[in-house]
């Protein structure tokens, strides 16, 4: 990246109220058929514009064409029955009714490639595209076919690799895999989770990122966070193996979280997409607060490897709060850029 401290968001941005009910996850679409397709593209245009207006350097689609970061991808696969539902505990945290894996999984056609081409046509800036990671995918399903979390993860990794290769060909600069599960299932992450993720990025020439967070600012997550104590050391379990992995960028949560900043030492050498915006509060950070978080990270991350970002997606926030946070991120990064150049 030619610019110092290039800014980006972790993923989702709020949906306009004419497209889907705002400030809600899994919100139903308000349009149908061709109108829905056009509506999604218009929403993507709106958020591309807002990101540009705020001065965000690496832009995304804001996940405007998908209902949810995991389920929308899975909906496009064969082998999963969405009518057959079972209740499972997601990330050992909250119960949800999920679809069932009923046969061999496969990807009959690309999922997001047309959307990525659309974004590519509308900007010359670097673009980032998010996909769910294999472990987070299996954690959102009931598996009645493979009956092995690891086996299903390897199948998904191969499918994700097909999608990622097509996204790369469409001009995506950074492909990000969302793996909040990496903060929960430490033994599996180290046994096969990171290896499965490396399978998903096999052969890619574009940059690759893994996003590991403490989740959206929804109640199930904020309740869980209250049980984690005063120091959140979850990253310590997975960073050493990730440091050795083939992934280029590690995206993590930092602003207002109880993650000890010195854990960044464990991934020294990797690029770090650092969450300097809290997505679990409507309070908009001041540029100085953002700058402060970035300065702390610079003790452990070389300046040319620090990518200021948000803790997680902002889908559940209002549009005005999300825009305010984009501006704060940009302004905070600019403060530190000036300091570094001085």
CB nearer to Zn ion: pick between 312 and 322: 312
Instruction: Give me the least distance between CB of 31 and Zn ion, in Å please.
Output: 27
Handedness of CA 36, 57, 310, 75 (dihedral sign): positive
Q: Does 213 bind Zn ion (CB under 5 A)?
A: yes
CB nearer to Zn ion: pick between 312 and 315: 312
Instruction: Give me the least distance between CB of 253 and Zn ion, in Å please.
Output: 7
Question: Is residue 320 packed enough to be buried (19+ CB in 10 Å), middle (13-18) or exposed (0-12)?
Answer: exposed
Instruction: Give me the least distance between CB of 133 and Zn ion, in Å please.
Output: 11
Those residues with Cβ within 8 angstroms of residue 94's Cβ, 6 or more apart along the chain or in another chain: 220
* Cβ(313)–Cβ(11) below 8 Å: yes
Per-residue contact track with Zn ion, 262 to 301, x per CB under 5 A? ----------------------------------------
CB nearer to Zn ion: pick between 70 and 312: 312
CB nearer to Zn ion: pick between 213 and 276: 213
Q: How many residues bind Zn ion (CB under 5 A)?
A: 2
Within a 10 A sphere around the Cβ of 230, how many other Cβ atoms?
A: 6
**Whole-number Å distance between alpha carbons of 225 and 299:** 26
Instruction: Give me the least distance between CB of 203 and Zn ion, in Å please.
Output: 26
Site for Zn ion in 142-201 (CB under 5 A): none
Q: Does 312 bind Zn ion (CB under 5 A)?
A: yes
Instruction: Give me the least distance between CB of 209 and Zn ion, in Å please.
Output: 12
Q: 90 by DSSP, 3-state: which? A: strand
CA distances to 70, 75, 135, 186, 187 from 265, rounded to whole Å, are 30, 38, 25, 19, 21
CB nearer to Zn ion: pick between 100 and 136: 136
Residues that bind Zn ion (CB under 5 A): 213, 312
């Amino acid at each position: 990246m030619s610019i110092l401290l290039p800014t980006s968001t972790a993923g989702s941005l709020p949906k306009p109220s004419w497209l889907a009910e705002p400030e809600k996850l899994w919100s139903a679409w308000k349009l149908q058929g061709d109108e829905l397709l056009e509506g999604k593209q218009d929403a993507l245009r709106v958020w591309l514009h807002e990101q540009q207006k705020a001065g965000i350097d690496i832009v995304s689609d804001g996940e405007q064409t998908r209902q949810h970061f995991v389920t929308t991808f899975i909906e496009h696969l064969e082998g999963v029955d969405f009518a057959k539902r079972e209740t499972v505990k997601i990330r050992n945290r909250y119960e949800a009714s999920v679809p069932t894996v009923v046969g061999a999984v496969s990807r009959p056609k690309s999922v997001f490639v047309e959307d990525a081409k659309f974004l590519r046509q509308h900007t010359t800036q670097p673009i980032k595209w998010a996909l769910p990671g294999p472990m987070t995918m299996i954690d959102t399903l009931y598996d009645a076919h493979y009956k092995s979390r690891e086996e299903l993860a390897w199948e998904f990794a191969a499918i994700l690799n097909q999608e990622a290769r097509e996204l790369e060909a469409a001009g995506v600069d950074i492909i990000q895999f969302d793996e909040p599960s990496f903060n929960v299932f430490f033994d599996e992450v180290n046994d096969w989770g990171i290896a499965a993720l490396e399978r998903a990025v096999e052969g890619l020439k574009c940059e690759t990122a893994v996003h590991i967070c403490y989740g959206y600012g929804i109640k199930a997550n904020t309740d869980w966070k209250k049980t984690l104590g005063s120091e959140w050391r979850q990253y310590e379990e997975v960073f050493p193996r990730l440091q050795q992995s083939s992934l280029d960028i590690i995206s993590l949560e930092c602003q207002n979280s109880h993650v000890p900043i010195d854990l960044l030492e464990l991934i020294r050498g990797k690029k770090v997409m650092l969450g300097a915006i809290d997505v679990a509060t409507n309070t908009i950070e001041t540029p100085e607060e953002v700058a402060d978080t970035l300065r702390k990270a610079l003790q452990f991350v070389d300046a040319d490897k620090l990518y200021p970002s948000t803790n997680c997606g902002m889908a559940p926030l209002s549009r005005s709060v999300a825009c305010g946070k984009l501006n704060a991120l940009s302004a905070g990064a600019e403060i530190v850029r000036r300091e570094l150049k001085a």
